[in-house]
Amino acid sequence: MNNILRHGQRLGCWLPAVQHHIHTTAVHRTFWEREKKSGYKTKLPEPSKKQLILDGFKELKEEIKLWRREVKEQLESDPILVFRPGETDVVFDFKAPDVLDKWTVTTDADHGEGKSTATLELSAAGAGLFHGEVNSDHTKDGIIKRTGYANIRTKRVRKSFKRETTYDWTQYNMLIMKVRGDGRSYLINLHTEGYFDLMWNDIYHYVLYTRGGPHWQIAKIPFSKFFLSSKGRVQDRQGPIALNKVTHFGFSVAAKKGMDGPFGLEIEYVGLQYDPSHREEFAYEMYQTPKYIVAT
Amino acid sequence: MLRRVQCLIRLHSNGRQALQFRSYAKDGANSKQNPNPNPRAQKQGSKNLPAVRNPFATAQDRTKDSYLTMVEIFNERDVHRRNHVEFIYAALKNMADFGVERDLEVYKALINVMPKGKFIPTNLFQAEFMHYPKQQQCIIDLLEQMEDLGVMPDYEMEAMLLNVFGRQGHPLRKYWRMMYWMPKFKNLSPWPLPDPVPDDTLEIARLAVERMCTVDLRSKVTVFESKDLKDAIDDTWIVSGMSPEQEKLLREHSRQKALYIEGPFHIWLRNRRINYFTLRADPDTEFLAQLDERQLDEDDVSNIEVPFFGRAPPRRHNQLGKLRSVHQQDDGTILAICATGTSTKDSLLSWIRLLEANGNPSIGEVPVLFRFTSTVPAKAKEIEGSAGVPAKSESRCSENGQTRSE
């Protein structure tokens, strides 16, 4: 709704002369979205052209290095093809150097829609600590109904020369995490951003229940439990996650049901595993449904 | 012109409403004395806004009974039930004040306000273009509020919605989605909690410590009373969790190395937050390193030692060593967890002394240091503080050979 209003306002600013002939109220764009942020894209000031060229050259060195590695890998052609039951492959390791650069922290305060704060930093134990305070208070402007969230997400996985790619996790069927939480439940988000605008907001979710307390906890969650949602709405047409199309990974926490206040989730690593005893493909039964009711 | 007529009608109906609600609500004239007056009701003189009177905001007696009576009065006011959408929205908004926001019966009463049979589409076009959109959206919002608060609908509600909107209604679709997903998520948590979570702090603290102790199944949670000790200042409870394994680790802990009481950390039980403290020792690095050494990778063929030329054959050493306990973490050994009623230094001191008295005599011989992440008061706040009290606690500290640091 907010998005639509913003569009309306923007139209009004651009074309003051023809304002009367164009709707400035809700225009329901169901099928087409202008950009991936759905109206939440903040325009950041671009550096000067000269600076861009200089930065480009600086990046070029790294990109060529990356490209060389890719070519070498391609020539060696030695991918892991064997399922190794019980072995954990770490994907996001918080003990690795410069790990914090790979993550983006967002809260509802980013767009002036809430008052939550969050940071991701290294804890005393050397793990990543996602902490802050979620707050469901917001300005009652009549558009925003509910607020209070904090979120971390990895940056889009890419190949050399800034080409976007996806993770390929098809060999695994379990997500393994070593975490230490505070008793809250967190949302695990696996983004499978597609090519078309309809698929830009596809996220597979599952809950990470944390025990709380001083002990570390190893959460083992099968990928079959993840369910599809888009823009926060669980979808009617479900299906198992396509593990070769994962683009981002993240955690969310919300101030729902009066859970306003501080939170803290310490993550040591996020890994993948193949468990041969887990045969389930999708945890949710798929009923045959009447026509024109589902997904409408 | 039309708008003005509508305004007049609404004003008129409001006047009648006020008469009807007299027994449950205060009059507009008395609204100044009301602790929670409706600001819109005071703007009756303004030209632009129609005067809308919200009976829920002005109700005196805020109980479930009075809430249901108001809904009933609205139902019986006239056949047309004008403004029922506005009424339902107002009723939804004020649910929390009446303490009925988690009550399925109340939601059903609100759905019952809708007329039966009138909104059922009779042809394909009506069904496809959301027949009576305001009414449908209103009930969708109601269902969404239920979903947000975790109130699960039942089959009677399905029958009611079918009577109002028919099989093609959007509220029905929302209802079916809820009935598909909500039971799946309801009991998903591996640490189930009573619903609602009890209000008693001691009860919550006990639940919290029990939850943290699920890491070791042999853990025992005890509730101590600090008044059992001779000279404790705070009279409070202490919920302590410790397992036989932790007791063993504490027994084997070197007398020269300090123990730390750390905190306050917090743990959430649904929407309740409890502060807890831990008794922790520094990690036994020697033991942990030895464990790493023992984990030889037998598949690694990159570095094979050749047992020739007088060198001793490789020995399978430490195959029968000590196992690592779950409490021996990389960043420290956790020896006990507690939550106290006052979360003060004095109550924590009482905790240590109670642990000493209850089967852990070795703790008296080890220096125990406080290490707090935020300010922790020395003792519970009293209205009449006596001057001698802090000195007393200091002296007891030195008696036990315990030192303090912050």
Q: What is the pLDDT of residue A14?
A: 46
The total of other beta-carbon atoms located within 10 Å of residue B8's CB is 11
- One-letter-per-residue 3-state SS of chain B: CHHHHHHHHHHHHHHHHHHHHHHCECCHHHHHCCCCCCHHHHHHHCCCCCCCCCCCCCECCCCHHHHHHHHHHHHHHCCCCCCHHHHHHHHHHCHHHHCCCCCHHHHHHHHCCCCCCCCCCCCHHHHHCCCCHHHHHHHHHHHHHHHHCCCCCCHHHHHHHHHHHCCCCHHHHHHHHHHHHHHHHHCCCCCCCCCCCCCCHHHHHHHHHHHHHHHCCCCEEEEEEHHHCCCCCCCCEEEEEECHHHHHHHHHCCCCCCEEEEEEEEEEECCEEEEEEEEEECCCHHHHHHHHHHCCCCCCCCCCCCCCCCCCCCCCCCCCCCCCCCCEECCEEEEEEEEECCCCHHHHHHHHHHHHHCCCHHHHHCCEEEEECCCCCCCCCCCCCCCHHHHHHHHHHHHCCCCCCC
Domain-located, residue B105: yes
Where among B185, B220, B245 does a domain terminate?
B185
Looking at the fold, whether B180 and B272 belong to one and the same domain comes out as no
Q: What is the pLDDT of residue B262?
A: 92
Per the CB < 8 A criterion, the answer to whether B275 and B265 are in contact is: yes
CA dist B250 → B213, B259, B335, B359, B370 (Å): 17, 9, 7, 11, 17
Nearest to A88 by CA among A167, A172, A153: A172
How far is A142 from chain B, CA to nearest CA, in Å?
14
Q: What is the pLDDT of residue B26?
A: 35
Residues of B in contact with A220 (CB under 8 A): none
Q: Average pLDDT in the B351-356 region?
A: 92
Looking at the fold, whether B171 and B286 belong to one and the same domain comes out as no
Q: Give chain B's radius of gyration (CA, Å).
A: 33
Find the distance separating the first CA and the last CA of chain B, reported in whole Å.
74
Q: Do B177 and A257 touch (CB under 8 A)?
A: no
Which residues, including other chains, have CB under 8 Å from residue B49's CB and lie 6 or more apart? Answer: B40, B43
The tens digit of pLDDT for each residue in A144-172 reads 888 999 999 999 999 999 999 999 999 99
Domain-located, residue B315: no
Cis peptide before A222 (omega within 30 of 0): no
The tens digit of pLDDT for each residue in A29-67 reads 566 788 888 888 888 899 999 999 999 999 999 999 999
Which range marks the domain in which residue B38 is found?
Answer: 2-185
Q: Do B212 and A214 touch (CB under 8 A)?
A: yes
**Confidence category of residue B313, pLDDT binned at 50, 70, 90:** low
Looking at the fold, whether B153 and B57 belong to one and the same domain comes out as yes
CATH of domain A85-273: 2.60.120.430
The tens digit of pLDDT for each residue in A85-144 reads 989 999 999 998 889 999 999 999 998 889 999 999 999 888 999 999 999 988 788 888
Residues of B in contact with A236 (CB under 8 A): 177
Looking at the fold, whether B258 and B363 belong to one and the same domain comes out as yes
Q: What is the pLDDT of residue B71?
A: 93
Looking at the fold, whether B213 and B154 belong to one and the same domain comes out as no
- pLDDT value at B194 more than 80: yes
**Confidence category of residue B42, pLDDT binned at 50, 70, 90:** very low
What is d(CA B101, CA B89) in angstroms, rounded to the nearest whole number? 13
Interhelix angle B104-111/B64-77, rounded to 10 degrees, is 10
Looking at the fold, whether B207 and B181 belong to one and the same domain comes out as no
User: A259 and chain B: CB distance < 8 Å anywhere?
Assistant: yes
Q: Where is pLDDT greater, at B21 or B168?
A: B168
What is d(CA A146, CA A222) in angstroms, rounded to the nearest whole number? 31
Looking at the fold, whether B149 and B216 belong to one and the same domain comes out as no
Where among B153, B185, B217 does a domain terminate?
B185
- Which of B184, B212, B334 has the CB atom closest to A211's CB atom? B212
Domain-located, residue B196: no
Q: Average pLDDT in the B132-150 region?
A: 94
The tens digit of pLDDT for each residue in A179-190 reads 999 999 999 999
User: A184 and chain B: CB distance < 8 Å anywhere?
Assistant: yes
- pLDDT value at B21 more than 50: no
How does B343-376 read in b/e, with b if 16+ C-beta sit within 10 Å? bbbbbbbbbbbbbbeeebeebeebebebeeeeeb
Looking at the fold, whether B36 and B145 belong to one and the same domain comes out as yes
Q: Do A217 and B215 touch (CB under 8 A)?
A: yes
φ, ψ for residue B5, nearest 5 deg: -60, -45
Residues of B in contact with A217 (CB under 8 A): 215
**Confidence category of residue B354, pLDDT binned at 50, 70, 90:** very high
Residues of A in contact with B173 (CB under 8 A): 293-294, 296
- pLDDT value at B303 more than 80: no
- pLDDT value at B8 more than 80: no
The tens digit of pLDDT for each residue in B259-269 reads 999 989 999 99
Q: Do B212 and A212 touch (CB under 8 A)?
A: yes
φ, ψ for residue A236, nearest 5 deg: -75, -40
Q: Average pLDDT in the B325-332 region?
A: 90
Q: Do B331 and A124 touch (CB under 8 A)?
A: yes
How many secondary structure helices (H) and strands (E) does chain A include? 2, 13
Looking at the fold, whether B161 and B209 belong to one and the same domain comes out as no
Top residue of A215, A287, A293 to mutate, by most chain B CBs within 10 Å, is A215
Interhelix angle B170-186/B133-148, rounded to 10 degrees, is 10
**Total count of domains within chain B:** 2
Looking at the fold, whether B213 and B348 belong to one and the same domain comes out as yes
Where among B185, B216, B237 does a domain terminate?
B185
The total of other beta-carbon atoms located within 10 Å of residue B153's CB is 22
Sorted by where each begins, the domain ranges of chain A are 85-273
The tens digit of pLDDT for each residue in A234-271 reads 999 899 999 999 999 999 999 988 899 999 999 999 99
The total of other beta-carbon atoms located within 10 Å of residue A114's CB is 23
Looking at the fold, whether B20 and B162 belong to one and the same domain comes out as yes
Looking at the fold, whether B109 and B32 belong to one and the same domain comes out as yes
Q: What is the pLDDT of residue A81?
A: 82
Task: Specify the DSSP class assigned to residue A246.
Answer: B
Q: Do B271 and A257 touch (CB under 8 A)?
A: yes
Q: What is the pLDDT of residue B311?
A: 66
Residues of B in contact with A234 (CB under 8 A): 177, 181
**How would you class B12 by CB atoms within 10 Å of its CB: exposed for 0-12, middle for 13-18, buried for 19 or more?**
exposed
Angle (nearest 5°) at CA B338 between B333 and B339: 145
Q: Do A212 and B330 touch (CB under 8 A)?
A: no
Q: What is the pLDDT of residue B196?
A: 83
What is d(CA B108, CA B72) in angstroms, rounded to the nearest whole number? 12
Q: What is the pLDDT of residue B295?
A: 64
Top residue of A145, A187, A211 to mutate, by most chain B CBs within 10 Å, is A211
**Confidence category of residue B201, pLDDT binned at 50, 70, 90:** very high
